Amino acid sequence: MKISAILNNIELEQFALPEFQRGYVWGRADVRNLFDSLYRRYPVGGFLVWTTQPDPQTVRGEPGQTGGAVKLLLDGQQRATSLFGVVHGRPPEFFQGNEKAFTDLYFNVETETFEFYGPVKMADDPLWVSVTDLFNSEFEQVVHRFEQGSRNFPLVTYIKRLNRLLEIRETDLHIEEIAGDDRTVDEVVEIFNRVNSGGTKLSSADLALARLCAHSPQVRNELRRLLGDWEKAQFSFRQEWLLRCATAVATNQASFDSLRDVSVSEFDAALKRAAQSIEFILNLFGDRLGIDHSRVLAGPYALAALIRMVSEQGGSVTDNQTQQRMLFWYMHCFMWGRYSASTETKLQRDLHALDSGGIDGLIRELEQWRGSLTVQPDDFDSSSIGARFYPLLYILTRVNASRGLFSGIQLSHALLGKHSKLHVHHIFPKKRLYDAGYSRSQVNALANFCFLTASENQEISAADPALYLAKAEAARPGVLASQWIPQDDALWQIDRYPDFLAARRALLADAANDLLTTLLAGTGVPAQQVDDRATSASGKPPLTFELQPADDEAEDEEIKDVLTLASELGIATPETHYEICDDETDEVLAVADIAWPQGIQPGRTQPVAFLIDADPHTEEQLGELGYRFFTTKTRLVWHLEELLGIDIDGDQIIGDVAENLPG
């Protein structure tokens, strides 16, 4: 079929995209190479389509108005979208992605090369012709732009080259059709994965969603709505995570394959029960543990088993002792990384333990897997806010009503005003430690963190700890103990910093064990009436929490810059403070400040990490694990420019990047 006919079919919406297909992931380099290959008449591959009569709402983009068969693009989405986007200057109806990838492609009639628009190079050069304009303007108008200018070849040569570019529309591309409505989604996805061997494979989650969306397009919309509601409450979850939770509720199985025999109506009901149970658990965690945002909701996959348990009890658990034992189990799951690898296997074991013994069965399974459940001081011997025990420090602060060092205000109470937001505070200020020669991992040791209000954090700044700690304790006796800060003033000296860390780790371990002991025994302070609290899924008021989440400033400023840039460029959203673990032992091998574990273009590029003040060990580990890593925003931006084939201007970059871009 000629490219012109393919584009016409897309225009008439007779080519559409199945719901299990992913969005547009090509970058500018891919688009440029496609048009260069077509111009030079190189092979560019064909299309695989499934010709069927689907429900109009099971595809992205409405079927054509003719009532005829619709061709669902299984392989060739990226090429079809790129061709349509460049030729028409707009994306097709089924588009999902970043249209900047195919916007402003230009062709140089002298060098016969394709590049994306750059004002410095192209603004005053008539030999650069917009490909989109060429396909949509009068040919004479395009020729007139350069016919009067200086040139190295006869005008007729340029005209022939423009005609050669226009004739791309007449190129024949092979289309392989899978015909028949009797094809199952499983069969089609299997064909897709075989044909698409060089691209991103469909996962079991994609396949499960495909089955559901083939019958009910509202499933994906409902998943997105729920995720959006929780996002507003400071909790960011993945669609795959929610699907996993709903699967556990619907089938009591961890594998998505178990959804094969679940009807759409059964899944809808399970999703509603899962959502109600999730909101109960989030409120329980907020009330009893002070967990009020995603950063401190570690190990979210552990929630699937609890969600199944709560769902079986009608969407809430009213027994206070059971509630506390649930919290005990969850805390141990995230502290020891139970769900950091082999998620499906671990969840299946926990669902089985839950089915046979309830919460006590879960705890027995945990003890068999872990052995000792006692927290040791060395468990706090880690650094960065990405550490597993960072959420535990936050929980201890909230549960034990730690007090602000100067205000004396209990940090579990509602705080108002823009300067009342919790901040991570370095007890020994970073500047003093760096000046004394301590390494980044020592400076950012977890035992050097505590939580204060923004105003207190600013007041302390880089003050000498020997002075400001003494002042705080004198003004408000007991305030240091409330933050587990050793009261031996000899340890407040810079040269005793390692001893200070060791002493504080011991205090934190004791506090953690005390909390866990009360939770296991069910003798802690009773939870407030969590089961009567807000759950939007059940028609009650929305989630509410006492404090705004902590602002982890410092290196987070650089992280926020990169996240902002990723959003503006429309690339995959990266993970922050990402743990890379051994699949067998769950051991944390490295922690990246920012990571794209599936690649910046998921499934098409290698894993990428961004490190702030990286240490040699982390760099070595990431290299062995196949990551390409960067230690400055400047170099990361250069990589993005090369990968995406674009110039990132200074307005898109924050901080040091704007000052260091080439040219």
Tokens of 396: 């201890």
Work out the mean pLDDT of the chain and round it to a whole number: 80
The model's pLDDT over 240-281, given as tens digits with 9 standing for 90+, comes to 899 999 999 999 999 888 887 788 889 999 999 999 999 999
Q: Write down the pTM of the prediction.
A: 0.70
Q: Which pLDDT band holds residue 432 (cuts at 50, 70, 90)?
A: very high
List % helix, strand, coil for the chain (3-state, nearest 5): 55, 10, 35
**Where does 20-125 have alpha helices with state H?**
28-39, 77-88, 119-122
The model's pLDDT over 40-52, given as tens digits with 9 standing for 90+, comes to 999 988 888 877 6
d(CA 309, CA 187): 34
Looking at the DSSP bridge assignments, the partners of residue 325 are: none
The model's pLDDT over 65-113, given as tens digits with 9 standing for 90+, comes to 444 566 777 778 888 889 999 999 888 876 767 777 788 999 999 899 9
Looking at the DSSP bridge assignments, the partners of residue 435 are: none
Tokens of 359: 């919460």
416 has pLDDT over 50:
no
The residues spanned by each domain of the chain are 3-187, 203-373, 378-523, 556-660
Give the type of residue at 543.
L
Task: Name the more confident of 349 and 439.
Answer: 349
Tokens of 447: 């035992």
The model's pLDDT over 596-613, given as tens digits with 9 standing for 90+, comes to 888 887 766 788 998 876
Among residues 502, 428, 435, 501, which one has the least CA distance to residue 467? Answer: 428
Task: Name the more confident of 585 and 441.
Answer: 441
Helix/strand/coil for 357: helix
Burial code (b: 16+ CB inside 10 Å, e: under 16) for 464-502 equals: ebbebbeebbeebeebbebbbbbeeeebbebebbeebbb
Give the type of residue at 411.
L
Alpha-carbon distances of 636 from 98, 619, 633, rounded to whole Å: 19, 15, 5
Burial code (b: 16+ CB inside 10 Å, e: under 16) for 341-360 equals: bebeebbbbbbbbbeeeebe
pLDDT of 351 reads: 96
Q: Which pLDDT band holds residue 193 (cuts at 50, 70, 90)?
A: low
Q: Which pLDDT band holds residue 189 (cuts at 50, 70, 90)?
A: low
d(CA 475, CA 456): 14
**Where does 216-342 have alpha helices with state H?**
218-232, 239-251, 264-289, 303-312, 320-335
